[in-house]
Structure 1
Amino acid sequence: MRRTVHRHLGKVVAGTAIAVAGTAAMVAITLPGTAGADESGGTGKAAGSTQQQAADGQGAAPGVVQQAPAEGEKGKGRDPLTDDETQRVERIAVNQQLLNSSENVEGKRGPQRLDVELANPGPSELDNPNAPRRADVTFYDYKDDTVVTKTVNLDTGKVEQTGTQHGVQPPASHAEDVEAAELLLASPLGAGLKADYKDATGNELTSPDQLLLTAMVYKATPGRQSGVFDQCGEHRCVRLFPKVKNGPWIDARDFVIDLSARKVGKLTG
């Protein structure tokens, strides 16, 4: 592996050694920084299969009212949410209406779960050690490119507040990272990524499971991009930073994946 990386080093971009094999390029040491268009980013967060099934809207038949989920293990005060609380919050937040009216990143029924975190107490509850525990759960609805946030009271099991926003792009989830990689690999523009992976490992790249994935949300700068990029910001778009498992980073920063339109494009200039 070290011999492969050193053989192809030849260009330095933003302080990072870049290889030039294929259309994409292998990055030797550090994760590339952002450049170009206005971006907001964050690392994808792996989610357990149970949580992700809840986010994808699996396990509920149309027209069936589910029983309230068991409370399971509970935290106290400002303790972090337990796994049981996280699963319960997701199931409470995705009611039948949201389940049937929304789509996840794969185009399936139900919104895409992005994040679940402990909610801040209200102003009148700051000094109350017995204040109810609440959680904010954030989804992305690919049907209309809407961010949906619900605040769930863990004591009562009820949704206390729902907010929707357009044109807001929180950090991508792990499921979105994987889907972006799937779209890139299926595109002719993914040929360079495959070539670099084979050069680094000697094996064919056929699945995102062969990579460690991080994505950063991409927003188009008005007047600078056109075509596949002009709706990025309204649409859910990302740039991928893939890494060979136990190997080098592969520089795929030139590629933008529009998850809403399910298209892949390449930045120029």
Structure 2
Amino acid sequence: MQKRTTAAMVAAVVAVATLGWTLGSSAGADDPGAAPAVPRITEPPEAPVPASGTGRDPLTPAEITRARDLALAGLAVTGPGGATDVTGAAGPELLTIRRADGEPTARRADVLAYDYRSDKLVKVAVDLTAGRVTGTFAATGMQPPATPREVAAAVDLLWRHDLGDLMRERFRQATGAAPATAAELQPSAQTYTGEPCTAHRCVMLLLHRPGEPYVDLTDLVVDLSAGTVVRLP
């Protein structure tokens, strides 16, 4: 009986030791005072973005690219000839691409662009399900928000214009130092539709440097269509 009891105790000790080794308690095996190992947690991989959405889902990146390509191809055939973008290059200035409301079974998009040659906002209706342009529309007097590319062009125009000296002087008066380069400025803009810009694409710039207040430039309007800057009375 004693032999059996001793054998059982030895087996229990071996089992406990084996269990501890299996659980991987390496921190503390040699150093009982060491902190326990932190378990590694891995993030699950991101699910692949589908090529096409369904119903009223937002447009996928692939659908946005497809809508842009179909719209530009459609404008080349049916749109205003000789359209130019904000830099004067051939082709309209792409503003935004958005999902169009319609039948939930069809995927549709509206592509908005601006033709600087004719100063018209152009909308191209695209049926992504059928892969074709269903309509092209143009109108004057409609000015959606400026794109980052247009804002950058406006900053460049103001910086190189004679009124850029006035802008730099206002920075000096407001902050103690005039900007040395346009790259120092953090810009945003709002479209302006009053006189003398009722027929052109114009913006008012909001400029500041990081950590500093905005400088009042509300009397300066950048006319992107004419490539100049005007001062309001």
2:17 corresponds in structure 1 to: none
Equivalent positions of 1:168-207 (< 5 A) are 168-197=142-171, 200=175, 204-207=179-182
Structure 1 letter corresponding to 2:55? G
Please, what is the CA RMSD of the aligned residues? 2.3
TM-score (norm 2): 0.70
Aligned partners of 1:180 and 1:100: how far apart in 2? 25
Structure 1 letter corresponding to 2:99? L
Report the number of matched residues: 181
1:202 to 1:76, Cα distance in 2 relative to 1, 3 A: same
Aligned partners of 1:87 and 1:187: how far apart in 2? 36
Equivalent positions of 1:211-230 (< 5 A) are 211-221=185-195, 229=196
Aligned partners of 1:214 and 1:193: how far apart in 2? 15
Aligned partners of 1:179 and 1:90: how far apart in 2? 22
Aligned partners of 2:163 and 2:80: how far apart in 1? 34
In the alignment, structure 1 residue 151 sits paired with structure 2 residue 125: yes
- Identity fraction in percent: 36
Give per-residue Cα distances to partners, 1:10-29, cap 9 Å, x unaligned: xxxxxxxxxxxxxxxxxxxx
Q: Secondary structure at the match of 1:84?
A: helix
2:114 corresponds in structure 1 to: 140
Structure 1: stretches of 5+ with no match in the other structure? 1-71, 222-228
2:51 to 64, 68, 73: 73
Structure 1 letter corresponding to 2:140? H
Displaced runs of 4 or more, over 6 A: none
Q: Which structure's CA Rg is the greater one? A: 2
Aligned partners of 1:105 and 1:189: how far apart in 2? 20
Structure 1 letter corresponding to 2:145? P
1:166 corresponds in structure 2 to: 140
2:38 corresponds in structure 1 to: none
Aligned partners of 2:99 and 2:222: how far apart in 1? 31
Q: Secondary structure at the match of 2:106?
A: coil
Structure with greater contact order relative to length (CA < 8 Å, sep ≥ 6): 1
Aligned partners of 1:86 and 1:246: how far apart in 2? 36
Kindly state the Cα deviation for residue 150 of structure 1 after the two structures are TM-superposed.
Answer: 0.5
Whether the aligned pair in 2 keeps the contact of 1:99 and 1:110 (CA below 8 Å) is: no
1:47 corresponds in structure 2 to: none
TM-score (norm 1): 0.61
2:214 to 217, 232, 249: 249
Q: Secondary structure at the match of 2:137?
A: strand
Give per-residue Cα distances to partners, 1:13-72, cap 9 Å, x unaligned: xxxxxxxxxxxxxxxxxxxxxxxxxxxxxxxxxxxxxxxxxxxxxxxxxxxxxxxxxxx7
